[in-house]
Structure formats: C-alpha cells, structure tokens
C-alpha cells in the first residue's frame, strides 16, 4: 500500500497513493525509466522512492514548495510567479502536493512558476531521487479495554503515542499519526510502546465515560495522560493547573483549550522549519505577551502554561473554523470510534437523550410535482426516534450514538471498519444508475464527473437496471455510485421489482449518493455491508429539487469536497437539502482537490468602480486537515492562512478576478447568485 511510480505518455512520472487514491504527475521533457531506490537519503520521512534522469520537472499546477539544504533548513519558498536560481549544490525540494513529494538533486536548480505551471530546471540531464509519502496514517496497534471509565482513561492516554512530535509542529496534520484502535473486551490490555509521550501534562476528569470521551482529542493533542479526579482540570508536573469547569461549561472549555493551544502552536511553529509569513500571527502578535522564539524551544508543559495565560478573547478571532464537531453519547461501544474522531482532531461534545426527538412527520419537499417515490405520502417510519444535534460553529457536524440523524453525519462503526479498503484501480471508477428516464436530466451522459484534465475518471452510466443487474453493480468494486430513481420502503425500484440492499452479501461501492425518496434505510444497509459512506434522503424529494441537488453534489464531489462538506454547501443553497444526510464516514472524498483544499468564493460588488470584495471559505480535508496552510493566490497576497473557514475579505479588480476564477472549478456566490467559477468570464463581472 505504499505510493507507486509509473511513467506517463505525456511523458512524465506519475505518483499514485493507493491508500488515499491520490495522484500527482511530474512532467518530463523525455521519457524516463524510474528505478526503485532506498529512502534513507531523504531528510524527511518518505514511504517509497525512485531515481530518474531528467533535465527538468514540470508540474501541471503550482504547489507550495520549499528548497532546503541537506540538513533541512529552508533556503527558498516558492509559490506562484516565483523565479529562483540556485548554484550547484545539494538540495531537497519539498512539494506540498496531493501526495507529499520530495526531490533530491545534486546540481544547479532554477525554480520558475506562473499562475498555472511550475518548473524545476536542472540545467542538464541530472539523476534525481523522487520520494513520496502518503498523507494517510493507519493505526499502528489496538488497545483492548473494558467499559469501565478508568480503563477507558488508560486507553485514551495511549492516543498521544501516535504524535510524531510534541513540538509546535504537531499542529501540522502530517505530523499527527493515527491513534491506536480501541476494542472492547473483558480486560485492559495495552501493547508495549503505546505510552503517552513524556510531556509532563495530565488531564483529570470525573470517572464517567462521557467526560473521558469529551477530553479524548485534547489528551491526544497535548500528549497527556487522563486520570480520575473530582474536578476536571489540566495539571502539569511543575505545578501549573487550569480548570476545565468554567462559566463556559465543561465541553466549551475543553474545546476552547484545544483551539487556543492549536492556534498558538501554529504561530510558534513559524520559528522552526517553516518560517512562513502567517496572517494569524500578524493578527494577534501585538495582543499577546508571548515570545514565540523562546516558546518554540520550551518544554511542552512550560509552553502550555504560557499559552493558557493568554485570554481567549485575545485570540478568538484568529482561531480557524473547526472542521468537525462530534456529539457523542455515553454508550460504551462509542469508545471504539474515538480514535477516528481524534484523528480528525474533532471537537467531541457530550450528548444524551435531550438531543433526541420523536419524528411525528416528515415535511414533504414537493408541491404538486413528480416525486421520486412510488408510495407518495407514505410514512412507514413516522414513529422512529430521530436525533437533531444542536448547531455548532464547526464546518461539519456528526452524531455518534443511537437514533436516526437529521442535520448531521450519522457515524456508523461499520464504515470505519471498511475505511482501509483499497481503491479499485488507478482510475477513479464512478457508476451512475438512472432507473427512471424522467430523471435523466440529473445525470445526462455522465459528464457531471470526470471533467478535469488532472485526474483520470472512468464514468459509466447504467439505465433501467433490473434487480439482478443492480445487485451485481452494487456488489462490484467501484469508487462511487450515484443512484437516480425511485426508492420505496422495501428497496430500490427496478423494472422487474424491488431490490433491498439488506439482501446483499457485500457492497462493492466505497461511497455512494442515493438520490431517491426515503433512501436512508438502503444507505445504512450499504454501509453495513461494505461501503464507507454515502448521502441519503429521509423523506420524499420532488424531482426538480432532487435534480438540482444531485447535479450540485456531483460537481462538489468532483471538485474535492468531502461528503459532509459537499452537503453543508448544498444546504446553504436549497431548502430541499434538509431532507439529505450522510451515513457512515462523511469525511471521505471521492476525488482530490486540484490545489489541495476545496474553496467556496463569496464575491460582492463594491462601490469602487470595477472592484469586488472576495471572501474565501476553506474546507480542510482528510489529507489536508486542521493545521494545513492555504494561500489564496489572489491579487498581491503572499501571506499564508491556516485552513478552516473564511479568510478576510480581499479587494480585487474585475479583470484580475475573472482570470483567477478560470484557474480552477469551485463554487461561487456572486452578489447572492450561486454559480461556478469556470462559468464566469470577465464580461460577466463588468
């Protein structure tokens, strides 16, 4: 499952990560013959490496690049419109691409980039080593624990063992390894080597499961032990203490500490290997009495005490919008999913029966229009308990516990058991099923997917599938299945009858979108039988609204949004989207984003002649998670931002804005109207 290197016809070298299903191409002036080599000569960890003879490497788009000396010290940082000539020497090029890439070269290097192209010229044919590292980290071990809160504390205390560093660089997602998995058993069994790092930091909470769950992400990030105590608090070996019982409430204080420490780590790490010009540091540096150079080298406990001496109000506005907030009930089996939430650096909030309702009825989304149900108005599951979690400021919401979930991702244990499934092939396989010709408008000829030159898609449209054909299709391996048609209580409606997904022995679709009425039960069955996650509906959906949602979801997934973030964007635009939800692991992406992090532009006209205000919302992903950096490449902006939520508004002229909108396809709201960047030209802005 290590990254693989293959040649391309372009010609060039393609890197493929089978774990994350990510690709990255390095174009060359002539065909290359990659030879596998060892990884020991790279300053940073890589999973696989090859040697090739080239005179230059060309990227199909610009990625953030560092040129470093053999010791890892940065010499040059290159972005758009860079031009750097370096004399003959030994260099390591670090490329923040969809697959972490390093190039070792001994010789001269010229780095040149435009708005949509980047080139590394070595002057003459030179033997270089190309190394690749997957952004994905799998659990290294399994901890067995009972449901007893103190045993759970011991299990959660092992999570910090997965950190690759306890320095401020732990704020980079690539330096936070996946915590060990957790399984329930009759005793506590912790494998050797899973001790928490020696940070001198401990967290005390009451001996109940919900309190342990609530501090799991904080304990992981701090590398802290969790211990029983009457008063929830953080304590260090050198006498520092911080109460977690404040006027904000326990959950809110835990989240506040996590976010504040994380933010200040991001600021402090600019004193180390990545000395970037960071917007958030500029925003708060004058308001906090901290010496970032001193803190960079300080012990963990000392750094933590300094961070928490800063009033939260001084840094609140600089904290990025968190990717995921998860509401977790105290059920013992929920402990087994904590490692996956923690790996996403999720804010974990305690949940109980107060968040539940009884679904008396489901408001139809149709108004005398054709609906995607053959039993319109039927409410067979009217009395089923459902869950409506409280809103948070996070970009994405999830619920872990019993109940049928509205307004959040319904996490299911089976989805995470299937998470490490290998991808189907080098291409991204997408199967579209249209079982009613009246709904053909949603999928047309399949062109909704695969319209990007940088990714190979294999899209197949299937029409009017029989129960047997659909069963075979659902069981066959594919990356994504988009179903358009009728769904009733018993299953998918086919020309010769109804197919119930629960009858399948196995599901081959890794992810799916079931765009028919009341498809929730069928989606749950797909996840239980092998899928990772998918989008489903709770009630009847009118054909017009469902078509609009389906087309929008398709383009968002095509642009690299996760299932959860795609649905979050859709909910902003259409009321009918309230009938849709995600089951399973909603953090999964079908396709990688072209520049690494999906974005949503909100553009408004200003009073200035021909000038626009541009606000960019950023959406961290599974591989470019919390702590990743983003540069908008707009106007003369050269500052880095921490990914997550909206960036400050930029001012830009119509000509320049029109140019940037054509660089990549992403959603845009222009003066209140939704559209896509590549559909807008300069004439539309004048």
Most confidently modeled of 241-245, 589-593, 632-636, 656-660?
241-245
Residue pair 266/282 in contact (Cβ under 8 Å)? The answer is no
Q: How confident is the model at residue 426 (pLDDT cuts 50, 70, 90)?
A: low
- Per-residue pLDDT of 128-169, as tens digits, reads 999 998 775 677 789 999 999 999 999 999 999 999 899 999
Q: What is the pTM of this model?
A: 0.86
Summarize the confidence of residues 4-24 as an average pLDDT: 87
Look at 679 and 522; give whichever has higher pLDDT.
522
d(CA 263, CA 281): 9
Preceding omega of 222 cis (within 30 degrees of 0): no
What is the spatial distance between Cα 370 and Cα 436, in angstroms, rounded to a whole number? 12
Give me the pLDDT at residue 312, please. Answer: 96
Beta strands in 96-220, from DSSP E residues, in sequence order: 100-113, 118-133, 142-145, 181-184, 201-205
Q: How far is residue 63's CA from residue 96's CA, in Å, rounded to a whole number?
A: 6
Q: pLDDT band at 337, cuts 50/70/90?
A: very high
pLDDT at 679: 87
Tens digits of per-residue pLDDT, 207-237?
999 999 999 999 999 999 999 999 999 999 9
CA 356 → CA 348, 382, 599, distances in Å? 18, 14, 33
CA dihedral in degrees (253, 352, 180, 17; nearest 10)?
-90
- Answer for the pair 200, 299: CB distance below 8 angstroms, yes or no: yes
Token digits of residue 477? 């391996």
Whole-number average pLDDT of the chain: 89
Q: How confident is the model at residue 440 (pLDDT cuts 50, 70, 90)?
A: confident
**pLDDT tier at 428 (50, 70, 90 boundaries)?**
confident
């Amino acid at each position: 499952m290590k990254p693989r290197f293959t040649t391309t016809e372009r010609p060039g070298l393609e890197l493929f990560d089978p774990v994350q299903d990510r690709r990255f191409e390095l174009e060359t002036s002539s065909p290359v013959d990659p030879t596998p080599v060892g990884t020991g000569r790279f300053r940073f960890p890589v999973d696989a490496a090859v040697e090739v003879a080239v005179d230059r490497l060309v990227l199909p788009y610009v990625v953030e690049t560092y040129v470093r000396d053999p010791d890892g010290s940065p010499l040059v940082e290159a972005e758009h419109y860079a031009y750097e000539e370096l004399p003959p020497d030994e260099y390591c090029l670090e490329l923040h691409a969809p697959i972490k890439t390093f190039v070792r070269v001994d010789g001269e290097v010229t780095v040149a980039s435009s708005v949509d192209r980047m080139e590394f010229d070595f002057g003459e044919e030179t033997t270089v080593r190309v190394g690749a590292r997957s952004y994905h980290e799998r659990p290294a071990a399994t901890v067995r624990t009972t449901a007893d809160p103190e045993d759970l504390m011991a299990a959660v205390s092992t999570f910090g063992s997965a950190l690759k560093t306890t320095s401020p660089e732990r704020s980079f997602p690539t330096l936070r390894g996946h915590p060990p998995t957790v399984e329930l058993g009759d005793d506590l069994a912790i494998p050797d080597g899973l001790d928490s790092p020696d940070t001198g930091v401990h967290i005390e909470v009451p001996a109940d499961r919900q309190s342990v769950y609530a501090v799991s992400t904080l304990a992981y990030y701090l590398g802290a032990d969790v211990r029983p105590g009457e008063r929830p608090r953080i304590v260090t070996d050198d006498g520092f203490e911080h109460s977690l019982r404040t006027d904000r409430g326990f959950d809110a204080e835990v989240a506040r500490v996590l976010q504040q420490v994380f933010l200040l780590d991001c600021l402090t790490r600019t004193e180390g290997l990545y000395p970037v010009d960071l917007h958030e540091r500029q925003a708060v540096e004058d308001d906090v009495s901290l010496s970032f150079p001193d803190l960079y080298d300080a012990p963990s406990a000392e750094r933590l005490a300094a961070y928490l001496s800063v009033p939260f109000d001084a840094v609140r506005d600089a904290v990025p919008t968190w990717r995921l907030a998860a509401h977790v009930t105290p059920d013992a089996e929920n402990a087994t999913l904590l490692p996956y939430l923690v790996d996403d650096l999720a804010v974990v909030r305690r949940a109980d029966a107060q968040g539940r309702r009884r679904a008396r009825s489901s408001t139809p989304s149709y108004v005398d229009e054709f609906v995607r149900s053959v039993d319109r108005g039927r409410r067979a599951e009217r009395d089923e308990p459902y869950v409506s979690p409280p809103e948070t400021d996070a970009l994405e919401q999830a619920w872990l516990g019993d109940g049928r979930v509205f307004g959040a991702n319904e996490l299911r244990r089976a989805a995470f058991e299937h998470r490490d499934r290998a991808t189907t092939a080098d291409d991204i396989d997408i199967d579209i099923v249209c079982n009613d010709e009246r709904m053909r408008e949603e999928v047309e000829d399949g062109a909704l997917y695969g319209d990007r030159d940088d990714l190979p898609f294999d899209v197949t449209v299937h029409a009017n599938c029989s129960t047997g054909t659909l069963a075979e299709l659902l069981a066959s391996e594919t990356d994504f299945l988009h179903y358009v048609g009728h769904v009733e209580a018993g299953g998918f409606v086919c020309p010769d009858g109804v197919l119930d997904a629960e009858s399948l022995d196995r599901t081959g679709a890794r992810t799916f979108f079931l765009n028919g009425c009341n498809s929730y039960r069928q989606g749950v069955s797909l996840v239980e039988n092998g899928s990772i996650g998918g989008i489903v509906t709770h009630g009847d959906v009118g054909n017009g609204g469902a078509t609009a949602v389906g087309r929008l979801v398709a383009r968002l997934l095509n642009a690299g949004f996760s299932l959860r973030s795609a649905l979050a964007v859709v909910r902003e635009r259409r009321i009918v989207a309230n009938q849709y939800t995600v089951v399973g692991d909603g953090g999964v992406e079908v396709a990688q984003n072209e520049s690494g992090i999906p974005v949503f532009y909100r553009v408004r006209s200003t009073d200035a002649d021909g000038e626009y205000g541009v606000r960019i919302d950023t959406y961290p992903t599974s591989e470019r998670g919390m702590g990743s950096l983003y540069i908008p490449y707009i106007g003369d902006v050269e500052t880095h931002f921490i990914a997550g939520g909206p960036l400050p508004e930029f001012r830009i002229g119509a000509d320049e804005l029109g140019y940037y909108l054509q660089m990549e396809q992403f959603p845009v709201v222009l003066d209140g109207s939704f559209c896509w960047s590549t559909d807008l030209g300069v004439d539309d802005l004048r």
